[in-house]
Chains A and B, each alone.
Chain A
Amino acid sequence: MSDQPRRVDLADADDHTLVERAGHGDVRAFEVLVRRYGPLMRSYARRVLGRSDDVDDVVQETFVAAWKQLPSIEDPSKVKSWLMRIVSRRCVDRVRARRDHDDIADHDSEGPEHETPHRVVEARSREHALTLALEAMPAPQRRAWILKEMVGQSYDEIADDLGLPVSTVRGLLSRARKNMISEMEGWR
C-alpha cells in the first residue's frame, strides 16, 4: 500500500454497496442514494401529483421510510425500482388525502380534469407531446399509464398500489393505450 491511500469516492459506488452500507447505518452512503435517485423520484411525483409543494414532501417522506426499511431489502441492486414503488405508494396516499371523493377509482369517463385544452399537435417536440398527451388523460388512466410504462410495474403491482381490482387496471390501461396512440400519431 502507498503512504497515501487512493480512496474511492462513495459517489462512485454501485447501488449494491451503497445499500449494504446504508442498511448498516452509513448515513453518507444513504446521502449518495438520495442524490442519485432523488431527481427521478421527484420527476415521478411531479407527473402524478402535478406542480405542488407535495412533491418535495412526498419524496422526503419516501427516503425517511426507505431508510427504516433498507435493512430488509431483498435485492440491494434493485434499489432504484424499490424506491420507485415506495414513492408511488406515497403519491397515491397523498392523492387520496387531498380529495375526499375517490379520484383513484375508475371515474374517467368525464374527461380531462384540467381546464387547459390539450394541444398535442402544437407540441414543441415528441417529449413535449407526450407530456401534453398525458396531461390530457383522465387522472386514473394517467396514473396507470405512468406506473406501467414509465415505472415498469406489472398489472398486479399497479392494482395493489392503486387499490383497484386487476380488471379495472386492465380497463384503464386499455383506454390509456388507445388515447396515447391516437394523440401521438402525428409524432412518429
Chain B
Amino acid sequence: MTTDLPDDLEAAGVSGDDVETLSLEPDRLDGHTIDELADYLDAGMTPADPTIDDSPACQNALDALTRVRMLSHGALEADALDEDAREDDWITEIITNISLEAHAGRDIPLPPLKETENSVITEGAVRSIVRRAGDTVDGVLIGRCTLEGDVTTPGAPVVVRVWARIVRDHGATAEAVTDAVCSAVEEALRTHTEMNVEGIDVTIRTDGAAPVPEEER
C-alpha cells in the first residue's frame, strides 16, 4: 500500500501501476474523510482549506475522485450515442398518447355556417395558426403565444402576444422581423377566425441566432 505520494506524482515517475491501492481512510488522509473531500469538491474548493490543499494524500484522493466523477458524468451521454435510433413506432406511440391530451384551451366562437350550428375553434387551434404563420418569416420560430381578452365572446377585443426567436440570422433588423411576424399573424387570424384582434404584440429574442452567410440570403 502506498501512502503520502508526492505532489508531482507524474514528475516523480510514479505510474499508476506502482500505486496498488489508494487509501481512503481518515488516518491516511491527514484526518479527512473521503466524504469531506467530496463535499469540498462540490463546494468548488472554496473557502480554501489548507489542511486539504497542502496534503499530498488528500490531493491524491481528490484527483481520484475527480477522475471517477468526470468519467461518470460523461457516461450517460456516451451511452445515448450508442442507443439505436428508435423505430418510428415507438415515437408514434408516444405522440398518439399525448394527442389524446391536447392542450385545447378555451372555445372561440366562429360565425355559424347554418343558423342551427354553433361553431367554435379551440384556443389551441388558434395558437397553431399563429405559430404556422409566424414560422413563415425567414429564420424565425414562434415560441409562446397567448390570447388575452374574452375570446369566448364574439367581437370582444383580443390582444395576441407572440414570443418569437430568430434562429437563423438573415441580416434583417429585429424591427423588420417584428413587422413581418406581425403582419403574417394578422393576416392568418383575419383569414381563419372572427376574432376582434385589437393588437399583436411581438417580442423577439435574438440570442443564439446563427448568422447566415450573405450569399445564402
Chain A residues close to B by CB (< 8 Å): 1-2, 5-8, 10, 12-14, 16-17, 20-21, 23-27, 30-31, 34-35, 38-40, 42-44, 46-47, 56, 60, 63-64, 67-68, 71, 126-127, 130-131, 145-146, 149-152, 170, 173-174, 177-178, 180-182, 184-186, 188
Main secondary structure of the interface of A (DSSP, over half): helix
What's the Cα separation between A14 and B140 when bound, in Å?
A: 12
For B33, the chain A residues whose CB sits under 8 A away are 174
Question: B95 touches which one: A10, A13, A27 (CB < 8 A)?
Answer: A27
What's the Cα separation between A23 and B98 when bound, in Å?
A: 12
Residues from 109 to 131 in B contacting A, C-beta threshold 8 Å:
124, 127-128, 131
What's the Cα separation between A10 and B135 when bound, in Å?
A: 10
What's the Cα separation between A35 and B136 when bound, in Å?
A: 24
What's the Cα separation between A47 and B140 when bound, in Å?
A: 39
Q: Which of A12, A26, A60, A178 has the most CB of B within 10 A?
A: A26
For A151, the chain B residues whose CB sits under 8 A away are 76
Chain B residues close to A by CB (< 8 Å): 16-17, 19, 21-22, 24, 33-35, 38, 61, 64-65, 67-69, 71-73, 75-83, 86, 90-91, 93-95, 97-99, 101-105, 124, 127-128, 131, 135-145, 163, 165, 167-168, 170, 180, 208
- A116–chain B nearest beta-carbon distance, Å: 19
What's the Cα separation between A87 and B97 when bound, in Å?
A: 17
For B19, the chain A residues whose CB sits under 8 A away are 185
Q: Which of B17, B86, B99 has the most CB of A within 10 A?
A: B86
What's the Cα separation between A8 and B209 when bound, in Å?
A: 11
Question: A130 touches which one: B17, B72, B82, B142 (CB < 8 A)?
Answer: B72
CB within 8 Å: A-B pair count: 168
Minimal Cβ-Cβ distance residue in B for A46: B79
What's the Cα separation between A111 and B91 when bound, in Å?
A: 38
Question: A21 touches which one: B72, B73, B91, B142 (CB < 8 A)?
Answer: B142
For A68, the chain B residues whose CB sits under 8 A away are 101
- Contact between A126 and B135, CB atoms less than 8 A apart: no
- A127–chain B nearest beta-carbon distance, Å: 6
Known A64-B98, A188-B16: A182·B24 in contact at CB below 8 Å: yes
Question: A23 touches which one: B82, B83, B103 (CB < 8 A)?
Answer: B103
- A54–chain B nearest beta-carbon distance, Å: 14
Known A8-B141, A34-B91, A181-B64: A47·B76 in contact at CB below 8 Å: yes
What's the Cα separation between A173 and B37 when bound, in Å?
A: 13
For B65, the chain A residues whose CB sits under 8 A away are 177, 181
What's the Cα separation between A17 and B140 when bound, in Å?
A: 11
Known A43-B76, A68-B101: A177·B38 in contact at CB below 8 Å: yes
Known A14-B167, A27-B98: A182·B141 in contact at CB below 8 Å: no
- Contact between B72 and A150, CB atoms less than 8 A apart: yes
- Contact between A180 and B103, CB atoms less than 8 A apart: no
Question: A30 touches which one: B34, B73, B95 (CB < 8 A)?
Answer: B95
- A10–chain B nearest beta-carbon distance, Å: 7
For A24, the chain B residues whose CB sits under 8 A away are 103, 124, 127, 144-145
- Give 18 new A-B contacts, CB below 8 A, not counting A21-B143, A40-B80, A185-B16: A6-B138, A8-B168, A26-B131, A27-B95, A35-B91, A44-B76, A60-B94, A130-B71, A145-B72, A149-B68, A150-B75, A150-B76, A152-B73, A170-B35, A177-B68, A178-B24, A181-B61, A182-B22
